Structure 1
Amino acid sequence: MLRRPFILVFLVTTIIAMVSMFSPIIALGEEEIVYYKMPSYQLGKLTSEYDVINVHGLSDRSLPGDPKVPETELSVALPPNVDETSVKVETKVLSSTILPGSFKLAPAPPFVTFIDGRVVLNWGPNQNSIIDGKNINVFAKNAYYPEFPAELSVLSSLRAWRFARIRVNPVQYNPVVGLLRLLNEIEVHTTYTLKEKQISAKSNSYDLIGNIQAASVMHNFNSATSWYSKPLHTSEATPAAPGYAIITTDEILSQSSKLSQFISHKQNRGYNVEIVTESEYGNLVGTAPNETPEKIRKWLQDNYITKQIQYVLLIGNPDPSTGDIPMKMLWPRRGASFYMDYDESPSDYYYADLTGNWDLNGDGYFGDYSSDLGTGGVDFTPEVWVGRIPVYQDIPDWAAHLDSILTKIITYENDQNTEWRKSALLPMSFSNAADVNIGLRETDGAYLAIAMLIDYLNPRGFDSWVMYPQGHGACGVCSRVVPNEELRGGSTVRDRWAQSTFGLVTWWGHGGEVGAYVGYDGCWDTDSFGNSQILHSNDTYSLNDSYPAVVYQNSCSNGTPENENNLGYALLRQGAIGTVSASRVSWYATGEFLPSRSVADNASIGYYFMDGVSNGETLGKSLFESKRQMGFGWQAESWMNLMDFNLYGDPSLSIEYSASAEPFPMPPTATNTPEPTLTPTPTSTPTASPTPKVLNKGTYDDMNAALTYSNAWGYRRANSAFRRGYHQASSNSRAQLSFSFKGSQLGIGVKTSPQGGRLRIYIDGKPIGTLIQNSTATRWQQYAKTPPLKRKTHQVRIIATTAIGKIVNIDYITVY
């Protein structure tokens, strides 16, 4: 599974609280300096001809025809009054190694879609310099590629925060002489100048959600908080859970008999629910052409910070032309130089990225890669996480269909029996056979399933059922990987799904509006009735809606919003609790699948989406955070994939049971303590110091008698790494700690590590935050503070929310 690399800090100022997978970056006036250390790597053979280098935590740079070399990305916060034209990135290589020997790295494949019965292949920006699948401008040049150790990718906004996305290239390859150069240590310098007039950040209304998101995205969050209003923890009152906006119509609100119950359900879970209809947004004036999408987006822009909105659920007709809550018609491939019939993409991303200008050049074509990319334009950084429940009023009993979906969501979230959800169905077809004449590699979808199984499903304890072609279908198409069951066109997937309970479903296959299919042109695998589907909208009536799955549909057009029987919506009605499907054609990389963040291929979006979902993230967060981290290496086609795949379902839903909404996390403060060896010692116990049963002002060791542990805690010793050489730890998902204290604030000391879990903090019965103990490297004596409290005696309950294989711990408690 991919993890982020380790980044150290130039310590030039005091480090304050932060949540991040990276150590913080410190601002040096108008320059940000990052010390980057390359993680571990492995060399191997990709094929008999090509070598491969895998760097822990990095994915491949996948520009078609260019060498496949690992890359990663940093996000560096900038002041709100930064002169965006002045931002530059420079590097200083502190340590490098040239590996002995000569290497031959493979070129990245072209990207492909299947339209109107034929393969459409594209080599992207390198198409005029491709010979034998290689970009001769790189492979024939006696120089290192990439040329620069780090490059400015794009300037972006996250709510009120401005930041730079920086691509880091720790591996360079000279294809002429076959040299691999490893940049072991790099200084990455981001320089900028400021505009004369200070711009007042919108976060001056105190955007807690924005700060929390920035803490997990910006690697210089600590030093940048002074630019963006107040620190993360202040004395002013803040909500204990995110806001949840339901955007619908007055008619739907009046006709649904379950929407009010759904609203109450979300409120009972701790959300601050806002109901928004045309009565609220109808008279607003948005950007031209000021139609319904612009009015809805204007309401969101005006309210997402002040109302602390994190989730948005759209309920209405998604048809971009005639719908009452329409998707926005976007034009990522407008002006494409080849196959121009499919240049549009209906999308809900327009309601998620609220700071970007989706019509930067003002020509009326929104989301056009050729003209809306650039500073101030589309950046795909979501301010809110969006899902929708389609409603087609021309379907008989449309309100009953809506009510059934709402009831299903309520039942799903209230159900504490979640073990069945830790199972996955993975039917994977082929997309094409090899064709050496056009540089087309055989594309077997089985390798998506293999990546999911190895990287996260198996380690997290999921039971999986895989289905691949085995040579008995059309053209003898046969995967080299042995499945649990052979994939055939017709009813094999429907029957397997109907007779089992699967929490997750992901497939690979060509698709249309109402079906996904086994095979490809000339080799469709049909049954005796002439059916070749992986699944058809009509098949959903056979599925058990009491065990609905989260579904990623790696196919074209399954979520076409103009078709009221599209497969994505048909599954949401019966068989699924949430679906992600494409509104138009989508693009894939040929050959054996490897997850990549550089080009936003359709399978990688699904891979990362299901990674988050299987780890307990909400559907909306997992989808939009997966997309946010994608690059635009395929240019317009990358944009099309990012726009195409929309969520039908509740964006706040998770496969894990929780009695309430996810509270805001509390960030540990990074420290630079050396990493010792952890030695379990079950035979000795440190002496507990005498304390009152109510903790007063002071710092208390984890063995203090006033602390009551339950459900399988144990102590461990690690010499001087912990405050007193010990800490309490547990891998039990029901582990709890309870105690009382008298004071105005609470601090908690912990260890963070790659195996770290989460602790949910309740004070006086109310959730006040989640302490995240997961980090890429082991860090000792990390520290988190609660928001300020009224000075009195408080009751504390700390509950583990730990996935299988994760460990939570307590080192010490401080009372203020």
Structure 2
Amino acid sequence: MIPGASMKRSVTCFILLALLLSTLPSLASAGEKSPAPGEIRLTVIEDSPGELLLHFEAPPPLFTSEGVPIYPGVVSTAPEGYPLLPHISRFLTVGEGRVRLKVHLLRWGEASAGEIPPSPPPCPDMEEVFREGMKGDVYGRDDFYPGRWAEILEGGHFREYHLVLLRINPIQYNPVRGVVRYALEMSIEVISSPTLPPPPAHPDISLFLKGVSFNWPWNFEGSPPPPLSSGAEYLIITHPSLMPAAFKMACWKAKEGYTVKVVNTTETGCSALSIRRYLERAYGEWNPPPLYILLLGDADLVPTNYFYRHPYHGTLTGTDHWYSTLSGTDYIPDVFIGRIPANNLTEAFYIVNKTISYRTSPPSNLGFYRNVTVAAYFQDSNRDGYEDRRFVKTSEEIRDNLTAFNYSVRRIYYTPSYVHPTHYNDGYSASGEPLPPSLLRSNG
């Protein structure tokens, strides 16, 4: 049931993670002979220096009642005003310099389609009314959009490793003819410089990139770290008043095997810019350079960065991400960064002690690891029973996926008492399907 409890609408922030997860399609394993219905498979055929050969295979797309092509679990996105089409994106590890693609379409199909809606403008959470997208010039062209079956988008670096984003566009749409072409099978050759950096010296780097990069080439084999002359893998930046708690965390991290250094804002400087400059010097000059950065203290004690203006209401937005992009001009972080937002020493010790306790005595209750809560807001501004945006639908997709892996999932959905939900949203990444009976008010 979707109750009318007095929960703040801020629960919709949970959907940000949901949207991220929902962009990941279900990929068949390399051992299967063909994808299951609605499933997409992308496999590495050959990965040699300077050349990566991928094989893509997919079934025909499904079509909504309005004739819009979709793949289950694949979100459709596009620039504002362009047709909302599904795509699959994967980070790749490549050599430095220019990256080229050679795409060979092996099998494809064609079908009539309804009018695919345009991507709407960004809709801030504070807006009650969902804004439909305005059709761009592409809708008047007798041509197939986006025109490329695959493309390389702007990438960046995680430390010394070059990452690019491969975007596969399995559906091409001609809005004038009302026709879509869809890829059933293709090979994708990614060509780059044959020179790669050496394998990482720290296992955490390899573990992270193995999860991010589709073709991460190395498994960590326990190579020894470089000789320690200065620097530390784990850097704690704190306020002078919180140093005792910082030292306790440092001692624990040292027991876990990290080299640790603690500095306070007297040493780094008290402004965001001075902290950034300190981190840049540490990253460029220390041996080893920092891999983890912990900011211990709230933003009034250890400042955050208020450089970026919000594109909608123009206010400055605080973010610590700025501290993590220490190499190049891209937005891919080069270090792992986090903050304990303690206001005083008592709070700092409480969080540090709780963190250490969790590591030394993890919860033994199985439910701690198997119970999940999804939360969302059912937005229905015109009170017709249809969701304005896919908040609840996305949460339900995540719930369905988790329950398939034997997680126990609790729902927390909110809508005002005068709203009577009956259907998911219609026209934007959904086609107005009825809500599951368990979510109807009539069923409790």
- With normalisation by structure 2, the TM-score equals 0.72
The aligned residue for residue 456 of structure 1 is 402
| Residue among 267, 277, 291 paired with 1:295 | 277
Q: Relative to 1, partners in 2 of residues 1:426 and 1:77: Cα closer, same or farther, differing over 3 Å?
A: closer
Q: Match for 2:71 among 54, 66, 82? A: 54
DSSP-derived class of the 1:49 partner:
coil
In structure 1, the residue matched to 2:135 is: 135
Structure with higher RCO (Cα < 8 A, 6+ apart)? 2
Asked if 1:306 corresponds to 2:293, the answer is no
Flag the 1:154–1:206 CA change in 2: closer, same or farther, 3 A: same
The 1-side partners of 2:58 and 2:287 are apart by: 37
Deviations 1:392-425 (A, max 9, x none): 3xxxxx2222222223333333233243423344
SS in 1 for 2:44: coil
1:317 lines up with 2:317 in the alignment: no
Does the 8 Å contact 1:36/1:185 carry over to 2?
Answer: yes
**Contact 2:170 2:183 (8 Å CA) reproduced:** yes
Q: In structure 2, do the counterparts of structure 1 residues 276 and 481 end up closer, same or farther at CA, with 3 Å as the change threshold? A: farther
Structure 2 match to 1:35: 54
Q: Determine which structure has the larger helix proportion and give its number.
A: 2
Structure 1 residues 213 and 55, CA, compared in 2 at 3 Å: closer, same or farther?
Answer: same
Q: 1:205 to 1:70 in 2, by over 3 A?
A: closer
Change over 3 Å in CA distance of 1:444–1:218 after alignment to 2: closer
Per-residue deviation, 1:156? 0.8
1:480 is matched with: 422
- Say if 2:236 is the partner of 1:246: yes
Contact 1:111 1:590 survives alignment (8 Å): no
Q: Deviations over 1:245-279 (max 9, x none)?
A: 3221332104x4xx444444444444444323246
* Superposed displacement of residue 344, structure 1: 2.7
Distance 1:96 1:105, change over 3 A: farther
Offset of residue 221 of structure 1 = 4.3
Relative to structure 1, is the Cα distance of residues 38 and 305 closer, same or farther in structure 2, using a 3 angstrom cutoff? farther
| Offset of residue 232 of structure 1 | 4.8
What corresponds to 1:23 in structure 2? 44
Could you say what secondary structure the match of 1:110 adopts? coil
CA 1:463–1:90: 2 relative to 1, 3 Å: closer
2:89 corresponds to which residue? 73
| Letter in structure 2 aligned against 1:174 | N
- Compute the displacement of 1:343 (Å): 4.9
Residue by residue, what CA displacement relative to the aligned partner does 1:4-58 show, whole Å, maximum 9, x if unpaired? 64799xxxxxxxxxxxx95365346xx534333133454132xx434332066x4
Kindly provide the CA deviation profile for residues 536-589 of structure 1, in whole angstroms up to 9, marking residues without a partner as x: xxxxxxxxxxxxxxxxxxxxxxxxxxxxxxxxxxxxxxxxxxxxxxxxxxxxx9
Q: SS where residue 99 of structure 1 aligns? A: strand
Q: Residues 158-307 of structure 1 correspond to what in structure 2 (within 5 A)?
A: 158-191=158-191, 206=201, 208-219=203-214, 221-222=216-217, 232-233=220-221, 236=224, 243-254=233-244, 256=245, 259-278=246-265, 281-282=268-269, 291-302=273-284, 306-307=288-289
Letter in 1 for 2:275: P
Compare CA radii of gyration and give the structure with the larger one. Answer: 1
Distance of 2:419 and 2:272 partners within structure 1:
51
Q: Is the 8 A contact 1:50 1:106 kept in 2?
A: no
CA contact (8 A) 1:111 1:121 kept: no
CA gap of 1:275–1:591, structure 2 versus 1, over 3 A, is farther
- Mark the CA change 1:153 to 1:215 in structure 2 (over 3 Å): closer, same or farther: same
- 1: CA distance between counterparts of 2:429 and 2:340? 31
Contact 2:110 2:180 in 1 (8 A): yes
Residue in structure 1 matched with residue 151 of structure 2 by the alignment: 151
CA deviations over 1:318-339 (Å, ceiling 9, x no partner):
1xxxx34111123255xx6xx5
Aligned 8 A contact 1:60 1:70 in 2:
yes
Quick one: distance in 2 between partners of 1:290 and 1:109? 36
Q: What does the per-residue CA deviation read over 1:134-178, in whole Å, with 9 as the maximum and x for residues that have no partner?
A: 424222222211111122210311110123222221221222222
Alpha-carbon distance change, 407 to 25 in structure 1, aligned in 2, over 3 angstroms: same
Choose which of 320, 340, 347 in structure 2 pairs with 1:389.
340
Superposed, 1:347-366 pairs within 5 Å as 347-356=319-328
SS of alignment partner, residue 165 of structure 2? strand
> How far apart in 2 are the matches of 1:24 and 1:171?
23
* Residue pair 2:203, 2:222 contacting (<8 A) in 1 also: no
Task: Give the 3-state SS of the residue equivalent to 2:180 in structure 1.
Answer: strand
Equivalence for 1:113: 124
What residue identity is the alignment partner of 1:23?
Answer: V
Given that residues 247 and 314 in structure 1 are in contact (C-alpha distance below 8 angstroms), is that contact kept between their aligned partners in structure 2?
A: yes
Deviation of 1:97 (Å): 1.9
Change (3 A) 1:101 1:165: closer
Q: Could you tell me whether the CA contact under 8 Å between 1:112 and 1:121 is conserved in 2?
A: yes
Name the counterpart of 2:103: 92
Residue 307 of structure 2 is matched in structure 1 by: 330
Gapped runs of 5+ residues in structure 1? 9-20, 123-131, 226-230, 284-288, 357-376, 393-397, 483-588, 595-816
Deviations 1:310-360 (A, max 9, x none): x32211231xxxx34111123255xx6xx5x4253210111222223xxxx
* Residues in 1 aligned to 2:410 and 2:58: alpha-carbon distance in whole angstroms: 31
Counterpart code for 1:378: D
Contact 2:276-2:323 at 8 Å conserved across structures: no
* Cα distance change, pair 428–155 in 1 and its aligned pair in 2 (3 A): closer
Would the alpha carbon gap of residues 592 and 246 (structure 1) be closer, same or farther in structure 2, given more than 3 Å must change? farther
Alignment match of 1:342 (pick from 314, 320, 325) = 314
Please report the TM-score for the alignment, with normalisation by the length of structure 1. Answer: 0.42
Distance 2:105 2:404 in 1: 39
Unmatched tracts of structure 2, length 5 or more: 1-21, 31-41, 431-444
Pick closer, same or farther for the CA change 1:133–1:214 going to 2, 3 Å.
closer
- Asked if the contact 1:62/1:68 (under 8 Å) is kept, the reply is yes
CA gap of 1:478–1:406, structure 2 versus 1, over 3 A, is farther
**One-letter amino acid of the structure 2 residue matched with residue 453 of structure 1:** R
